[in-house]
Structure 1
């Protein structure tokens, strides 16, 4: 499995991708190392992932891909499984949050079914020509039992309106997680409980917009197949 660090623009080699899924990839969602003297920011570390695929009747399989959520304390990485499928183009941009320890990252994954192997996509047109957008918001919550968690979570959801909301470092077991999850505006979820008092992952989604099929779940990883609705 080839590893690609996210740069302002990446065009990973896709010479050996499987035809059954246009873009199968593992996305490692991360949090920033933080200075000891920094104060807590209610929104934590945020990563917003925009995934765009063609939405034409003869290209519906382009709505299928896979991603893995893992709370590694590293910069984001993108893992692309080699494949002969159409070229995958990744664009990353960064906005600095008010707190020096927090930042918001945006990634766009665009599948171009007609691109040549050495061609380039026009990233200025990613929201045009019938392409479908799915937004994934990842938040390093640093504990969902905090008094300000619900207010901060609802603020993020209202601001970004994601179809998939990933909460990292939840620090509570699954049986305690469900009452909290029900208060958020998502009707489906996958939960990985923490080990002790650290870790824990939630993946929440809106089933009327996207289907997530659980492929693997452990204390450190949630592996999901994503199928975007037409």
Structure 2
């Protein structure tokens, strides 16, 4: 079994090679290590390898790790799961980023509940680029208007867009969806100069996402190993 360190180095090499293949500066693509369900000790081990940005899907699981790793002052916590209204205060008070904002109610709650003592909460608008009925996210034609709503709220900083690729789509379909995401992202950048993040691509479509302009790749199992289910706290 490869070690976590070997896994992490392999993912970094793959990411850097994809950037070289598509004439991208590797520094322009952030790796988000998706640490959901994994223990704090394993997260810290990856931190010691140089990783700083970690993604959590479950509020309680994430909060336990944030508390346990509070001594790592430059670690960056991204909430990347579905966010229920009754958990928004916990996320607003502890995370640095929320990548799955797609409802006005949630955006307003995060704005109201972000402590004045903390920096603005970085927000990505989730786009349902594949238009799948079971998938969260605003529809592409709604993305820019909703992003403007987010940008106008206090204590939030609009940083960009995210999507989750269609699992069974072929490369041509994925490429078209990623291209549409990039177009939306570039339109948003023209209006909001601080927008700098296009989060799309995971292990299965890393290379294609980088070719299409992704600035953040989300990788979990390929770094940490298989997820610990089904008893992860939400």
Q: Which has the higher strand share?
A: 1
Q: Which has the higher helix share?
A: 2
TM-score (norm 2): 0.34
TM-score (norm 1): 0.35
